[in-house]
Amino acid sequence: MYNHLMYFAYWVINSLVLYLANLLLPGNVVLGNWRFSSIESSIYAGFWLTFLIWVFWDFAIAKKFNLKKKIVFFGFFLLVNSISIWVVSRFSNITGFALINYKWALIIGFIATIFQKLPWKFVGRKG
* pLDDT, tens only, 24-54: 998 899 998 888 899 999 999 999 999 999 9
| Domain-wise residue ranges, the chain | 2-123
CB count within 10 Å of CB 126 equals 9
Give the whole-angstrom CA distance, residue 10 versus residue 48: 11
Percent of the chain with pLDDT over 70: 95
pLDDT of residue 28: 92
Residues 6 or more apart whose Cβ sits within 8 Å of residue 112: 13, 14, 17, 49, 81, 85
Give the whole-angstrom CA distance, residue 125 versus residue 45: 27
